[in-house]
Structure 1
């Protein structure tokens, strides 16, 4: 397991981008749970954010690809609207303990 960040660095309904060992990743916190995905839209393979740390739609309830507006469920990474509907973001296994968020890459 690799250390990603301190738990306090990922606020509720917030998102953050990371680069770790050459991989572009992002993390989202919803209902106290951290979710980590590869920062790559399944539609065109482009990074999702339009500005640093901006991975969520305005309501902070869905992950949004800035390029074509695809929307993904935070809990599963499934695309529910847009050009890649039915496809999934690549989930990264993670766990959180008192020291922070850890990922399995």
Structure 2
């Protein structure tokens, strides 16, 4: 299982992207909780980030697609605005052991 980073390497209300051999994923930390998703918009299959580790809107309250501005809830990946309304980001199972985040294969 690939190791991503230590949970403390991701600040609260921020995100971090990771390139794996199976594809690109990202993690968001909100209120001390971690959420990990495949880096792919359900609308076009494009990567969500507009710059490295930039997956959130200006208020750091929603995940935002850089291509067409779709907005997703951090907690479950549901699209709440944009062309893929009602669809979901694909969650990635992760494990946290001694503060180190690891993921299963995509």
Query: TM range, normalised to the smaller chain?
Result: over 0.9
Gaps of 5+ in 1: none
Aligned length: 105
Task: Kindly provide the CA deviation profile for residues 20-78 of structure 1, in whole angstroms up to 9, marking residues without a partner as x.
Answer: 12310111001111111000000011000111111000110100001100000001000
1:56 is matched with 56
1:33 is matched with 33
Report the aligned-residue RMSD.
1.1
Aligned residues of 1:34 and 1:96 also touching (Cα < 8 A): no
1:82 is matched with 82
1:24 is matched with 24
Gaps of 5+ in 2: none
